Amino acid sequence: MVCEEKKEKSMEKDILDRIEVLQGDITCLDVDAIVNAANRSLLGGGGVDGAIHRAAGPDLLAECRAIGGCPTGEAKITRGYNLIARHVIHTVGPVYSGKQSDSHLLSQCYANSLQLAIDQGISTIAFPAVSCGVYGYPMKAACKIAVDSTCNVLKDSRSINRVVFVLFSTGDYNIYKDYLSTIAD
């Protein structure tokens, strides 16, 4: 029994060692892919979505237009164009309503984005706080879903070496840091 507990703790440490939290601008990160908290049209918007589209340039919009949208909870991939990141993975989070389906859809955003990264041979990926801006998801609840969903995927995959959660505000950054420290103990 003690050996099993040590093995489980070692696996958890391996997973958490591949996750980091940064405060800053996701468009400036040197990773294989950044995740865009997109709307269903994929044609740009406000917040992170608008910042990514502005930084990537007009070719991103043209490629997104050709994709034809994305359902909530799913993910699509494009080139990164003028970004440092080679790819943008677009995922559409739920508009928060307080229903049980919200958490499932948000979890799917992270799981589907990570699976797409695995399928495309992407080893480093950065996420914003999906659904937490104008979509109104409470940050603490969204953080737990984001981190737990990511850990579940990393448990079964060695191909992703680094997952970065990039938060714009100090308060949001602290929520992620605090949650990660509680599960690391």
Predicted confidence at residue 57, as pLDDT, reads 97
- List, in order, residues 6 or more apart from 146 with CB less than 8 Å away: 106, 110, 127, 129, 130, 165
Range of the domain at 99: 24-184
Residue 146 lies in a domain: yes
Mean pLDDT of 123-137: 97
Residue 168 lies in a domain: yes
Domain total in the chain: 1
Residue 145 lies in a domain: yes
pLDDT digit string, tens, across residues 42-90 = 999 999 999 999 999 999 999 999 999 999 999 999 999 999 999 999 9
Residue 19 lies in a domain: no
Residue 74 lies in a domain: yes
Reported as a pLDDT band with limits 50, 70 and 90, residue 8 is low
Predicted confidence at residue 140, as pLDDT, reads 98
Predicted confidence at residue 13, as pLDDT, reads 84
Q: Are 60 and 88 in contact (CB under 8 A)?
A: yes
> Which residue did the predictor score with more confidence, 11 or 91?
91
Mean pLDDT of 126-134: 96
For the range 5-13, what are the long-range contacts, defined as Cβ-Cβ under 8 Å and sequence gap of 24 or more?
11/155, 12/183, 13/184
Predicted confidence at residue 2, as pLDDT, reads 42
Is 108's pLDDT higher than 80? Answer: yes
Round the average pLDDT of the chain to a whole number and report it: 93
Question: Any idea what the CATH number is for the domain that residue 109 is in?
Answer: 3.40.220.10
Q: Are 138 and 48 in contact (CB under 8 A)?
A: no
Residue 12 lies in a domain: no
Predicted confidence at residue 85, as pLDDT, reads 98
Residue 92 C-beta-side C-alpha neighbours within 13 Å: 14
Reported as a pLDDT band with limits 50, 70 and 90, residue 10 is low
Residue 15 lies in a domain: no
Residue 111 lies in a domain: yes
